[in-house]
Amino acid sequence: MAGITVVALEQAVAAPYATRQLADLGARVIKVERPGRGDFARDYDRTVKGMSAYFVWVNRGKESVVLDLRQEADRALLDAMISRADVFVQNLRPGACDRLGLAAGTLRARHPRLITCEITGYGGTGPYRDKKAYDLLVQCETGLVSITGGPEVPARAGISIADIAGGMYAYSGILTALYERTRTGRGTSLSVSLLDALGEWMGHPYYAQAFGGTPVRRSGARHPSISPYGAYRCGDGAQIFLSVQNDREWVALCERVLRRPELVRDPRFADNPLRHAHDEELTGQLEGCFAGHTADGLLALLDGAGIAAARLRTVAEFAGHPQLAARDRWQDFDSPVGPLRGLLPPVEVAGRRAPMRPVPSLGEHTEAVRAEFAGPGSGPADRAPSPA
């Protein structure tokens, strides 16, 4: 995406996550921040050598420009930046961009090739339009918290899953709009709500609830509708996780791991719905057999039988995962606090390695961008047409 310029009036996680994906593809992302503290995600924590882990995660590869949009000169500079941009992304509080004269319709009337993307909590219409929306609150509103956790206590998903969902749909929407512009020559206006994005990911529990007739139950680390699928104790006290997805794997588990071929013909376990209905009894059968194995020995046995299995790793153990090390998936990148290590973007492109550009300090690029966009010969007429 070299040659594509993105101007982002963004904060927190959802929009910054979307634009970081574009930066990873080589786009120029100019992040506009408030005077003083900037993006409030900079203050979420101080765990990365004094920087916020959230901010480091979603802002690599961007330029930081501090603008006070109440000041005429700074507002004019933002207008100049947008006039030369390919994409404008914002996730300010509801109505903020409208009051600033930055509504999608206004911008696209001035700049027909511009792609605008608005990320909201609950969408641009309806009774929830003006409500503030943060990740956990959207998890609650979509029903995710009601099906996450153990039988007694619901739980938040352990990552900012609503923000990530919204960011990824914004990212894919922007890529689609750029592709469309190569054929039509015109931009478009996109909007993504966190409620809609995470709601799409709630498809399975929705259909199970709507047509199953009973509420989806919280099942901890067990799958709510597939069995056996979850954690099982071994003889050394450790737990391993395994998953049987079809009857062929069930036969392999019984014959090659459990050494109990008669279980294949047990009417309680004849197919997955029956196995799930008798999950407690099935767990007893499995753990009775697993009691004679260590976790390492059992994992080797399951691998040999073609049964999907895993060990429960901590985040620290994930950071040292042998598969990631063997594939050289970690790479250093720069930041205001020195070199940091992060995972390469998930999409591997043959013959290329994604740029891992620095995390910006607050306002690091303000003066350079001001000189570029406010200097002589910087108007939109002087800008070469984008390749997209």
Mark residue 58 as left, alpha or beta (left: phi above 0; alpha: psi -120 to 50; beta: remaining): alpha
Bridge partners, 243 (sequence order): 229, 308
Catalytic residues: 223
d(CA 307, CA 121): 41
- Hey, what amino acid is at 44? Y
Q: What are phi and psi of 206, to 5 degrees?
A: -60, -50
Distance, C-alpha 285 to centroid of its chain = 38
Rounded Cα–Cα distance for residues 226 and 277 (Å)? 10
The two tokens of residue 362 are 């607050």
C-alpha to C-alpha distance for 173 and 179, rounded to whole angstroms:
10
Reference 97, options 32, 157, 149; nearest CA is 32
Distance of CA 369 to the CA centre of its chain: 29
